[in-house]
Structure 1
Amino acid sequence: MSPLEAEALEFVRALIRIDSVNTGEASTIGDGETRAALFVQARLEEVGYETTLVEPVPGRASVIARLAGSDPDAGALVAHAHLDVVPVEVENWTHPPFGAEIHDGILYGRGAVDMKDFAGMLLATARAFRRDGIVPRRDLIFAFFADEEAGGVWGARWIVRNRPELFAGATEAISEVGGFSIPLPGDRRAYLVATAEKGVTSATLTARGHAAHGSRPTADNAVVRLARAVVAIGEHRFPVVRTATLDRFLDVYGRAGGDVDDLGFTASLIDAGMHHTVSPTVLEAGGKTNVIPSTACARLDIRMLPGRDDTLRAEIEALVGPDVEVTWARAVPAIEAPVDAPIIGVLQDAITAEDPDGTVVPYLLPASTDNKHLAELGIHGYGFVPLRVPADFDVFGQFHAADEGVPVEALLFGARVTARILREA
């Protein structure tokens, strides 16, 4: 291994071993994010970086450093990763979730793909540039955030709103979710880049009726009314919308020889980015079997395509009908970066250098990342963590899964490609 590759693997393993689980509940979160941030800070300062540690509340630290580029007129590029991870159910793991063990060429551990892999790559790249005297074209802002898994409240969102000067001059960002390979015919690969992300909100459905004894059924049973509404939502398929990102995906993927009818395990990811999705996730009604409750509620997880919030709201309200009240939470809007920006060409060149037949393909991520917070500052976000994996390895399926893992060779590939991207972008 080169020093870059060796350090990338070392840092990914070290970060996995730091338990930085983010439960979303302050009382159950320890100091893992701060310990991870201090680990990163120490290794950046070791090679001469000036760093800024931001800790809005104890235990929830992020760290940021900047490397000057050769072109002061070029917008700075934010390269960011989050240091927190989702909880684990240890009994479902074959390998210790914080052990960072390697078995048969696979590195296992919480955060192996989400996303301590990229944190390790970025840290190794930052050190290599400083150590080897490499001056990138653009200013690089290396950011390692807390709290992404719970919405970035104490991480990227807090920093954007309270310390925006740390991103002065930044125009673009690169982070999750994308960059991993999916198979193309002829032992070739496409590498997805997220150029857009769905918006996210939630809604509460409330049905009302008369409370009564369970032995005397009522015509306005709130539970029945709610159940009808939930079934209507669950069975409804929202129409496909041809966004700019979807059009580019179909064009580039098709020209590369890909068949959208044969996407395999990637099909659900791409499909979810083609239309709105609404998932009933929580039901609340009654507390005693022999009492018909007067109210029943359901909560919905809602992911919206760019620019179509109002039509979606009207469609949901029509689906549930007049007997069910809909209360809307504040929405986080969708984001969509230019699909033809020069940085896409940089990503393609970096992939081509390592995989001559590889093709970078834009797609719409149906979930959310910290790029949404950076968008408040006018920064266009792209999801691209480069991983070349075997054709049968489902990278997206590793997110939040038991026995989360990533091939070691994919990490080394990612470190090389990431360094090339940041040098040339």
Structure 2
Amino acid sequence: MVRTYGICSLSYVPNLLIFLLFFLCTSRVVVSLPEDSSAIISRFQQYLQINTAQPSPDYSGAADFIFSQAKTIGLESQSIEFVKGKPVLLLKWPGTNPDLPSILLNSHTDVVAAEYHKWTHPPFDAHLDKTGDIYARGSQDMKCVGMQYLEAIRRLKNSGFQPVRTLYVSFVPDEEIGGHDGAEKFAQSEEFEKMNVGIVLDEGLASTNENYRVFFGERCPWWLVIKATGSPGHGSKLYDNSAMENLLKSIESIRRFRASQFDLVKAGLRAEGEVISVNMVFLKAGTPSPTGFVMNLQPSEAEAGFDIRVPPTADEKMLEKRLEEEWAPSSRSMTFEFKQRVSTLNEFGKPVVTATDDSNPWWSLLEGAVKKANGKLGKPEVFPASTDARYFRLRGLPAIGFSPMANTPILLHDHNEFLNQAEYLKGIEIYESIIKAYTSYTEHTRNDAYRDEL
């Protein structure tokens, strides 16, 4: 869009101002604005306005919207349902050499729920304020990335660019509840095998400074429930090894371990993704009564739940030993079970991580593409939580977590989640550069050799 200013009429103005205005008017100053930026932002808002919050995401609405975008861009599209009502949306831009391993850009369509009354603007209105901030659930996690993929492809196609490698874009369900009916089944499917994927890009996190954050691995969830048992007793009686006493001893031991890990982060000695985090998420005990709980009865059972996140650098055996001997020893009439436990190692005993050096050409290409688009990458990190990228890494594929949001507060799952429109538009330029570099790469990669080694 070009805005022009022509000859203007003047009344009395000081001589210097007359000269400046005359120069501006007769020179026809041209102010260049981002091409079609309002339409780009509008499409982003439309996607954000589809309520795909768990536990009842509108997947059909999201599919209709994504497929409409694919049609206008000129991409092939299909819907694959490994579980009824939970579609994996797959878009394809064929390359001129389909024998080369393809590129997969992955995102998830679901978002977490929001407490409406704690938001300044309704979480599914996609409100754009005067400063350019777009408030919506999913604005950072991760509808922004899915739409940035499509906008970057739209620009490349409009410019006449033709990829050498085939490019796939996937929109998967249920990431916010583990991805078991989405990316996990997709990565294990025959359909995925036929795609011959060589590299996967998935989500990252916002950065509070000018450097984009990038992730080569992630902490694995160990969802643990510890249970203590003992004889019931009168509320006034003091005796050893009651269920509550034993559980509290465990909680205190876990608290001390948590503090030791957190101290490393506070001191700047470790990044958040490099330590074992432990957070208690529920405490269950007591004998219910019509008015609450029986106050003069010590319960015979008590249990607590913990969300533990284990980095790929951790020693799982040592953590297991700590659990058995300190946190839930059988000598104190304690038991434990995992509601979910994901190993940091693959089936061959190797950490599930992606190389971030010259041995991985995809990493070098990413660095170069971001730099070419005037962006900066920070030090590669371990993602502090879990993403769908782990399912692709388990297949022996390189997978990089990356969401181009710089100078942005980290608000995923928080109240008033937002992304500034300028950062969103800049992210499209970043992906345009990455897609161009990845799909133009014609050298042989080490994927096949790596899989043979595994």
State the secondary structure of the residue aligned to 2:111. Answer: coil
How much does 1:205 deviate?
0.9
Question: Retained in 1: the 8 A contact 2:204–2:215?
Answer: yes
- Cα–Cα, structure 1 residues 229 and 75, in superposed 2: closer, same or farther, change >3 Å? same
How much does 1:349 deviate?
2.3
State the secondary structure of the residue aligned to 1:364. Answer: strand
Question: Which amino acid counterpart does residue 223 of structure 1 have in structure 2?
Answer: M
Q: Which segment is superposed worse, 368-377 or 14-23?
A: 368-377
Q: Using the alignment, how far apart are the partners of 1:60 and 1:225 within structure 2?
A: 43
Question: Which amino acid counterpart does residue 114 of structure 2 have in structure 1?
Answer: V
Out of 337, 343, 354, the residue aligned to residue 354 of structure 2 is 337
Q: Deviations over 1:313-359 (max 9, x none)?
A: 11232332441322234422333111112222222223323336x34
How much does 1:140 deviate?
1.3
Matched, 1:312 2:319: yes
Per the alignment, residue 304 of structure 2 pairs with 298
Matched, 1:221 2:242: yes
State the secondary structure of the residue aligned to 1:236. Answer: helix
How much does 1:55 deviate?
3.2
Query: TM-score, normalized by length of structure 1?
Result: 0.83
Question: Retained in 1: the 8 A contact 2:224–2:340?
Answer: no
Per the alignment, residue 136 of structure 1 pairs with 163
- Cα–Cα, structure 1 residues 382 and 154, in superposed 2: closer, same or farther, change >3 Å? same
- Cα–Cα, structure 1 residues 382 and 239, in superposed 2: closer, same or farther, change >3 Å? farther
Per the alignment, residue 284 of structure 1 pairs with 284
Per the alignment, residue 366 of structure 2 pairs with 347
State the secondary structure of the residue aligned to 1:201. Answer: strand
Question: Retained in 2: the 8 A contact 1:276–1:303?
Answer: yes
Out of 188, 201, 208, the residue aligned to residue 229 of structure 2 is 208
Q: Using the alignment, how far apart are the partners of 1:364 and 1:101 within structure 2?
A: 32
Q: Which segment is superposed worse, 70-79 or 359-368?
A: 70-79
Q: Using the alignment, how far apart are the partners of 2:278 and 2:303 within structure 1?
A: 16
How much does 1:16 deviate?
0.8
Out of 119, 128, 137, the residue aligned to residue 110 of structure 1 is 137
How much does 1:37 deviate?
1.8
Alignment of 1:261-272 (within 5 A): 271-272=271-272
Q: Deviations over 1:274-315 (max 9, x none)?
A: 222222211111223222111111111111121632222112
State the secondary structure of the residue aligned to 2:394. Answer: helix
Per the alignment, residue 254 of structure 1 pairs with none
- Cα–Cα, structure 1 residues 47 and 406, in superposed 2: closer, same or farther, change >3 Å? closer
State the structure with more CA Rg: 2
State the secondary structure of the residue aligned to 1:220. Answer: coil
- Cα–Cα, structure 1 residues 94 and 163, in superposed 2: closer, same or farther, change >3 Å? farther
How much does 1:58 deviate?
4.9
Per the alignment, residue 15 of structure 1 pairs with 47
How much does 1:236 deviate?
1.0
Alignment of 1:138-153 (within 5 A): 138-153=165-180
How much does 1:2 deviate?
4.7
State the secondary structure of the residue aligned to 2:121. Answer: coil
How much does 1:135 deviate?
1.9
Out of 390, 407, 412, the residue aligned to residue 425 of structure 2 is 412
Q: Which segment is superposed worse, 308-317 or 278-287?
A: 308-317
Q: Give the percent of matched residue pairs that are identical in Structure 1 and Structure 2.
A: 25
Q: Deviations over 1:200-235 (max 9, x none)?
A: 121211111101232333322101110110121022
Per the alignment, residue 403 of structure 2 pairs with 385
Q: Using the alignment, how far apart are the partners of 2:405 and 2:299 within structure 1?
A: 52
Per the alignment, residue 255 of structure 1 pairs with none
Q: Using the alignment, how far apart are the partners of 2:267 and 2:424 within structure 1?
A: 27
Per the alignment, residue 326 of structure 1 pairs with 336
State the secondary structure of the residue aligned to 1:45. Answer: helix
Question: Retained in 2: the 8 A contact 1:174–1:381?
Answer: yes
Question: Retained in 2: the 8 A contact 1:173–1:379?
Answer: yes
State the secondary structure of the residue aligned to 1:278. Answer: strand
Per the alignment, residue 87 of structure 2 pairs with 61
Out of 414, 417, 428, the residue aligned to residue 401 of structure 1 is 414
Question: Retained in 2: the 8 A contact 1:105–1:408?
Answer: yes
How much does 1:74 deviate?
3.7
Consecutive aligned runs of 4 or more in structure 1 exceeding 6 Å deviation:
260-263
Per the alignment, residue 256 of structure 1 pairs with none
Per the alignment, residue 197 of structure 1 pairs with 218
Question: Retained in 2: the 8 A contact 1:44–1:126?
Answer: no
Question: Which amino acid counterpart does residue 136 of structure 2 have in structure 1?
Answer: G
Per the alignment, residue 104 of structure 2 pairs with 78
Query: TM-score, normalized by length of structure 2?
Result: 0.78
Q: Using the alignment, how far apart are the partners of 2:316 and 2:180 within structure 1?
A: 23
- Cα–Cα, structure 1 residues 181 and 79, in superposed 2: closer, same or farther, change >3 Å? same
Structure 1 portions without partners, runs of 5+: 24-28, 184-188, 241-259
Question: Which amino acid counterpart does residue 382 of structure 2 have in structure 1?
Answer: L
State the secondary structure of the residue aligned to 1:14. Answer: helix
Structure 2 portions without partners, runs of 5+: 1-32, 288-293, 345-351, 439-454
